[in-house]
Structure 1
Amino acid sequence: MTSATSPAAARPVDGDPATSTIDVPEGPAASLTPGDLMSPRQRLRLVLVLGSLIAVGPLTIDMYLPALPSIVADFHTTSAAVQLTLTGTLAGLALGQLLIGPLSDAIGRRTPLIAGVALHVVASLLCAVAPNIAVLGALRVVQGLGVAAASVVATAVVRDLFSGAAFARLLSRLLLVMGAAPILAPTLGGALLRWTDWRGVFVALAVLGALLIVVAALGLRETLPPQRRRSGGVVATLVVYGTLLRDRTFVGLVLVAGLAMAALFAYVAGSSFVLQDQYGLDEQQFGLAFGAGAVGLIAATQFNVRLLRRHSPQRILVAALGVGTGAGLVLLAFAATGLGGLPGLLVSLWVVLAAAGLAMPNAPALALSRHGEAAGTASALLGAVQFGVGALAAPLVGVLGTGAVAMAVVVAGGMVAAMAVLLVVVRPSRLADLAPTAVVVAAH
């Protein structure tokens, strides 16, 4: 097991700790992490650059949600078949992270990042001319493969520079930037649909990807120096994955993060049909309702930063899953009985999203604090499980139906399962050794 502070600290070169290649310092500075050497302005720049890169994932997932009913009509297919295009994106994200994470540990962060976003641009353009639902689904898998690079590399860069509770704090800041994506995506998609069809949404995603390639090329330098890179090819990669999978606490925390993500993606997969077909909202109203939920998610991630000044990530995670489990069960009751109507359904959903916003920065931070020596591979496994479980949750909503009850069953099930894994597999008594306490956080 690697402690949260085990990675050697780094000294920046070229005067920019946020974006320069990192070297190992000597003397008293060896007790510092690279993030300790960064000024507030440099941290802000890092958040903006990495946040914009991470945001392309939620945009790719969410921006076409208002158009799902239109795609059903255009291809003369079923809602379940169209939901599989969402599953394809999540599956591509999961597989792509498993491949790109170890690659970034071996050759550095920048090259896989830029190549992956370029693949996303090409796939987006091809989605815009897809002739049928099968081709669209396959291309959405390729889209997910490409966008996985942005997600896993950005997380690994943060782990290169920070650890423990400081990692959780910066991840919360990143989620603030990234959180604009789920707020804007359905709204932007709905606005685009006023003057174009669903194909225009994919053209917009291609343009965004091209802009992000420029951002990555100009705004992010290498954070993994050659002396810290891993070599050994496929065999070494499998050995590292084996080491990670034998760590019960790491696996449990990864599953907790994945099940919380499953609850979120069940909402993503089912909300457009529930809110538009069952409750009669139009595309623009749906975008506003969906964005309101994202506001709650973002508010929770930023409240997490304040909480970390007084409480440990472990304590916040346990409390968040407790609240999320309770809210999920209330949501299921409202959906099954019709009590509360649309307001009751939305409020309980928003509480679940807020709980997920507290859980999602802390579970990964605690998990990755154990394996800083293989941040890219560990981040890849974490992301693969998150999006892989999400990929299972999306079609499960479609199989159960397109109504509120089906969505609520999967949302509540994800939160209940996350709490069960935390209690049975991770065990709260083991969490105390994983990360610095709030006193350490407050000192930064």
Structure 2
Amino acid sequence: MTLPEKIPLLPGWLFLLAMLTALSPLSVDLYLPAFPVIASQLQVSSSEVQITLAVFLLGMAFGQLLYGPLSDLYGRKPPLYAGLTLFFIASIGCAFATDLTTLTAARFCQALGGGAGVVISRAVIRDRTSTVQAARAFSMLMLMLGLGPILAPLAGGALLLVVGWRGIFMTLAACGLALLLGVHFCMRETSPSLGNGSKPKLRSAFNQYLSLACDWKFMRFVLVGALPFGGMFAYVSGSPKIIIDLYGIEPNHFGWFFGLNAFGMIFGSQLNAKLVARYGPATLLKYVLLAPAIATLMATLSIWAGTINLSQLMLCFFIYMTSMGLLTPNAVALAMASQGHRAGSASSVIGFIQFLFGTLAVGIVSLWMSPTALPVITVMLGLSAASLLLHRISQPNAPGQITEQFGES
């Protein structure tokens, strides 16, 4: 049995995984400032351009189901080669799209390819770390993910001025190619099935999904983490309308408001990295689930009372995003704790359910027409409250049930 590795502050292998994980979110945030220009050049409305975002999230959800079993069967690196190659080609396709249909199809393929990095990064962390170390590692990933929403809209706006919206997608293609080279030259294979000679058949690998769906110990933490994750996408999709349309903030200043809340997620993830070694992921998760539910409940009551203002909404968003920085790493680490023999498939299920809730949340916010922030806040409240309720009413783990080492897997 290979002992879990100790994690320095940010080792090279974890930095590479962070970049792989951030690739798909970067593909969302980087082109947001280009929506009006894309709509103008393709002669469609801005709402029609938003279809490309919804399709991207849907592609991320279903794409992640592919890579987990494949990574358990063939190792972690070959599916990454395939996914990053598809991402590279699809990004070029986006850059040369001449109509919305082509752009939408290319975005779906881009999401299918980019999902490989998200899934396999979680599996590699599971291969190389213990439960507490994994929670710390996922916190480091959250740091990189938090930097994306801060820097990407600003970078996207600058790229739009210099190279246009097509140049934004060429930049994404270059990122995909750079990561493909990084995986080839700098990443070692970590799949335990390749080292012990036990190579599952592909049908058996996909059958793991049914087994995982029936594993309540696993699904409990998956759902607890995925529900508020969907609420986060409600915020992402609805924040431009709230900040720009409802409160009259100039579009060129939107990135600063958006980035402030992303900084909250960075702060939460780094706070979690320090606290998890002392209190453990299960204890932290138990208490941090209260924060997003309470914040969104207070904001909802203020909206109904007609007393809500932008400062109060920004405080609610900041608390929610900060909570995500503590909530997500611990929920994922606890879900993955007993899945060493099928970490790739488990990671796929986590990603699929996260982005499925994200797609659902974006759909509700888009269809719910309201001149207030009520759709966004209500969806965030509903999902965070459901997560809290599920955690409280589901069977708690007995002391010692969640091990600190993965040796039993």
Scaled by the length of structure 2, the TM-score of the pair is 0.92
2: distance between equivalents of 1:355 and 1:320?
Answer: 6
- Decide which of 255, 258, 263 is 2:231's aligned counterpart: 263
Partner of 2:279: helix, strand, or coil?
A: coil
Confirm or deny: 8 A CA contact 1:370 1:434 kept in the other structure: no
Query: Could you tell me which amino acid in structure 1 is paired with residue 326 of structure 2?
Result: L
- Decide which of 293, 299, 304 is 2:272's aligned counterpart: 304
Single out whichever of 205-214 and 285-294 deviates more from structure 2.
205-214
Partner of 1:193: helix, strand, or coil?
A: helix
Residue in 2 that maps onto 1:408: 377
Residue in 2 that maps onto 1:333: 301
- The answer to whether residue 395 in structure 2 is matched with residue 421 in structure 1 is no
Residue in 2 that maps onto 1:154: 121
2: distance between equivalents of 1:310 and 1:187?
Answer: 37
Confirm or deny: 8 A CA contact 1:101 1:379 kept in the other structure: yes
Residue in 2 that maps onto 1:136: 103
Residue in 2 that maps onto 1:394: 362
Residue in 1 that maps onto 2:327: 359
Alpha-carbon deviation of 1:317?
0.9
- Decide which of 185, 199, 209 is 2:152's aligned counterpart: 185
Query: Could you tell me which amino acid in structure 1 is paired with residue 64 of structure 2?
Result: Q
Change (3 A) 1:246 1:398: same
Alpha-carbon deviation of 1:290?
0.9
Single out whichever of 298-307 and 75-84 deviates more from structure 2.
75-84
Confirm or deny: 8 A CA contact 1:366 1:434 kept in the other structure: no
1: distance between equivalents of 2:47 and 2:376?
Answer: 13
Q: Cα RMSD over matched residues?
A: 2.2
- The answer to whether residue 259 in structure 2 is matched with residue 253 in structure 1 is no
Residue in 2 that maps onto 1:119: 86
Aligned residue pair count = 403
Residue in 2 that maps onto 1:22: none
2: distance between equivalents of 1:431 and 1:122?
Answer: 48
Change (3 A) 1:81 1:393: farther
- Decide which of 15, 34, 38 is 1:48's aligned counterpart: 15
- Decide which of 289, 295, 303 is 1:321's aligned counterpart: 289
Partner of 2:253: helix, strand, or coil?
A: helix
Confirm or deny: 8 A CA contact 2:261 2:321 kept in the other structure: yes
Query: Could you tell me which amino acid in structure 2 is paired with residue 191 of structure 1?
Result: A
Alpha-carbon deviation of 1:62?
1.5
Scaled by the length of structure 1, the TM-score of the pair is 0.85
Residue in 2 that maps onto 1:90: 57
Single out whichever of 288-297 and 134-143 deviates more from structure 2.
134-143
Query: Could you tell me which amino acid in structure 1 is paired with residue 231 of structure 2?
Result: A
Confirm or deny: 8 A CA contact 2:143 2:265 kept in the other structure: no
Confirm or deny: 8 A CA contact 1:325 1:412 kept in the other structure: yes
- The answer to whether residue 242 in structure 2 is matched with residue 274 in structure 1 is yes
Alpha-carbon deviation of 1:91?
1.4
Residue in 2 that maps onto 1:198: 165
User: 1:171-182 maps to which residues of 2 (within 5 A)?
Assistant: 171-182=138-149
Alpha-carbon deviation of 1:164?
1.3
Confirm or deny: 8 A CA contact 1:165 1:436 kept in the other structure: no
Change (3 A) 1:241 1:404: same
Query: Could you tell me which amino acid in structure 1 is paired with residue 104 of structure 2?
Result: G
Partner of 1:281: helix, strand, or coil?
A: coil
Residue in 2 that maps onto 1:3: none
Change (3 A) 1:213 1:343: same
Query: Could you tell me which amino acid in structure 2 is paired with residue 156 of structure 1?
Result: A
Alpha-carbon deviation of 1:381?
0.7
Alpha-carbon deviation of 1:299?
0.5
Residue in 2 that maps onto 1:23: none
Confirm or deny: 8 A CA contact 1:128 1:203 kept in the other structure: yes
2: distance between equivalents of 1:129 and 1:190?
Answer: 19
User: Which sections of structure 1, spanning at least 5 residues, go unmatched?
Assistant: 1-7, 10-31
Confirm or deny: 8 A CA contact 1:101 1:378 kept in the other structure: yes
Deviations 1:294-342 (A, max 9, x none): 1100100110012113212112112111111001112323444553421
Confirm or deny: 8 A CA contact 1:261 1:386 kept in the other structure: yes
Change (3 A) 1:350 1:392: same
User: Which sections of structure 2, spanning at least 5 residues, go unmatched?
Assistant: none
Identity of aligned residues (%): 36
- Decide which of 382, 387, 390 is 2:350's aligned counterpart: 382
- Decide which of 163, 172, 193 is 2:130's aligned counterpart: 163
Partner of 2:277: helix, strand, or coil?
A: coil
1: distance between equivalents of 2:187 and 2:59?
Answer: 24
Query: Could you tell me which amino acid in structure 2 is paired with residue 131 of structure 1?
Result: T
- The answer to whether residue 380 in structure 2 is matched with residue 430 in structure 1 is no
Confirm or deny: 8 A CA contact 1:87 1:394 kept in the other structure: yes
Partner of 1:310: helix, strand, or coil?
A: helix
2: distance between equivalents of 1:275 and 1:130?
Answer: 30
Residue in 1 that maps onto 2:314: 346
Change (3 A) 1:76 1:333: farther
Alpha-carbon deviation of 1:433?
4.2
Confirm or deny: 8 A CA contact 1:80 1:395 kept in the other structure: no
Deviations 1:46-90 (A, max 9, x none): 221211221112101211222334444554545543333222111
- The answer to whether residue 29 in structure 2 is matched with residue 99 in structure 1 is no
2: distance between equivalents of 1:396 and 1:340?
Answer: 22
- The answer to whether residue 218 in structure 2 is matched with residue 218 in structure 1 is no
Query: Could you tell me which amino acid in structure 1 is paired with residue 391 of structure 2?
Result: L
Alpha-carbon deviation of 1:277?
2.2
Alpha-carbon deviation of 1:147?
0.4
